[in-house]
Structure 1
Amino acid sequence: MTDQNPDFGMQDFVPASAAHEQLLDLFEGAEFKVLGEYCTWSDAYFVLHDESATWGIPGSPQLRAVHVSRDLRERTYQADAAELPLYAMAESWLISRGCPVGAIPTPAVRKGADDATRALEARVREAGSRFALLTSYTDDQRAEPETAVVLRARDPQDPPEFRVLLESYDRWTGTHTLSEGGFATREAAAEWWGAWMEEEAPPLVPPASPARGPVFSSLPVAPPAPAVTWSPGR
């Protein structure tokens, strides 16, 4: 974590519309801290941590990916942003908007604990949009904070249809692990989700052929859903 607030470099630029200015205004509060950034003359890419999220809606994503593009000739700018639950997902969202792979350094507070975690994060970071993000829940009230993410395959011929990513943070080492599980049905994924919400989830079983995934789309994340509301019938 840093104490640095974002500097979007908008001096001498005007917004292309009021909506772009209003969006950046949201991130100028003291609660938004820079985790990673990469800037060129025409574009700025940020991963921000919302320190206020832990006191907001339970389970809400705590990361914000922000892209600002500048028109150097017209001296205008446009801004776009997304709420995302995992750092690698925020990086992937920015990569899809032109940020070079590897351009944003991983901060010390987001270091993977092992090779398996780093390899899985690399696949999330660098791949396309085979999966849609259904929901996520960040639980930082546990002894070891965790974030669970549910994904669904866009192509029914791309099994397993549902996947779960689970990030677990180790307060002692300041590192985290990321694991992946595959579920053939919504019911199976929802059963695991419910058990995880009760802190009784079994270990995730990785998909048989993980080389092509998991990957998530840039669709907005669904609101965080507790076990009683994320049901197979929804």
Structure 2
Amino acid sequence: MKDTDFRLDGLEPADEQSTHAYDRTWANDYQMISQHDMGERSFIVAFDPSATWDVPDTPNLVSFDVVRDSGRGTFSLHRSGHATFAFAQRWLIDRGCPADALAPIADAPRPADELTVRVEDRIRHSGERLTVVGYQVIDGGDVEGWSMAVDRQDEELPVRLFFESLQPDQYTYTLREGAFAHWDAADAWLENRSVPLPEAPEYRLDAQALRTSAALSRTTASLPRAGAVPGTPAAPVDFPQSLGKSL
């Protein structure tokens, strides 16, 4: 990873909030993971290795929204810490960054499977639906971390646990979403892990749709061709000689 360049040389904070954010940000401490520039505005996700020396579970993934005004010689800086990369992306997407513009450009672990991609996509496009209320960062030699959120659109299973697991040997990671009716159940699962993570209903519906689609495909494949008389063998198909040679 390379150091993050906020391109603030010669500029001053535009307001008190930006001053406070800038005072907390030492650019050389951050290693860039992804960045998208729109003129004088930059959307950045960076890794903060110094977080490991801070208070336990200090977020080590930080999203930055930087707006420069070269005419006035000022800049605005907003930042937000996260434990899960997809939530770091979502924060910037909600502030106007294109959703497809924040893929990692650094050498970072890749999703291990399609379900991980689907879970991340749900997070990125969740808007205000998911509110993060707790997390455990992956730090040092850790291989597991999580973000806990409230799903505002689900009254029966509002507590959502996004559980991330690294596979260092493969340089991959998995991300799963569990759904719980209340906080105690989610805390109990984190404490004991004696049963699989309860699958969120969104993915059960997707799995059922995939099974239904597969069943329909098999049924369609077994139907007689149009024009064939039921109970009689279908007429042979004469392939062109050129096609027959290529088969």
Q: Which amino acid aligns with 2:6?
A: F
Q: Report the counterpart of residue 162 of structure 1 in structure 2.
A: 159
Structure 1 residues 110 and 159: alpha-carbon distance in aligned structure 2, compared to 1, 3 A threshold: farther
Q: Report the counterpart of residue 131 of structure 2 in structure 1.
A: 132
When Rg is computed on C-alpha atoms for both structures, the one with the higher figure is: 2
Contact 2:41 / 2:67 at 8 angstroms: preserved in 1?
A: yes
> TM-score w.r.t. structure 2 length?
0.74
Contact 1:47 / 1:66 at 8 angstroms: preserved in 2?
A: yes
> TM-score w.r.t. structure 1 length?
0.78
Q: Report the counterpart of residue 92 of structure 1 in structure 2.
A: 90
Whose relative contact order is higher, 1 or 2, with alpha carbons under 8 Å and at least 6 apart? 1
Q: CA deviation at 1:207?
A: 1.6
Q: Deviations over 1:48-84 (max 9, x none)?
A: 1110222322233210001011235434221100011
Q: CA RMSD in A?
A: 2.3
Contact 2:61 / 2:88 at 8 angstroms: preserved in 1?
A: yes
Contact 1:146 / 1:168 at 8 angstroms: preserved in 2?
A: yes
By percentage of residues, which structure has more helix? 2
Alpha-carbon separation, structure 1, partners of 2:194 and 2:27: 37
Whether 1:189 and 2:178 are equivalent positions in the alignment is no
Unaligned runs of 5+ in 2: 206-247
Q: Which amino acid aligns with 2:173?
A: H
Contact 2:6 / 2:27 at 8 angstroms: preserved in 1?
A: no
Contact 1:162 / 1:186 at 8 angstroms: preserved in 2?
A: yes
Structure 1 residues 105 and 207: alpha-carbon distance in aligned structure 2, compared to 1, 3 A threshold: closer
Whether 1:52 and 2:68 are equivalent positions in the alignment is no
Contact 1:150 / 1:164 at 8 angstroms: preserved in 2?
A: yes
Tell me the percent identity: 26
Contact 2:132 / 2:149 at 8 angstroms: preserved in 1?
A: yes
Q: CA deviation at 1:30?
A: 3.3
Q: Report the counterpart of residue 198 of structure 2 in structure 1.
A: 205
Q: Which amino acid aligns with 1:163?
A: R
Structure 1 residues 169 and 90: alpha-carbon distance in aligned structure 2, compared to 1, 3 A threshold: same
Q: Deviations over 1:203-230 (max 9, x none)?
A: 2121223599xxxxxxxxxxxxxxxxxx
Whether 1:178 and 2:172 are equivalent positions in the alignment is no
Number of residue pairs aligned between Structure 1 and Structure 2? 204
Q: Report the counterpart of residue 14 of structure 2 in structure 1.
A: 16
Q: Report the counterpart of residue 235 of structure 2 in structure 1.
A: none
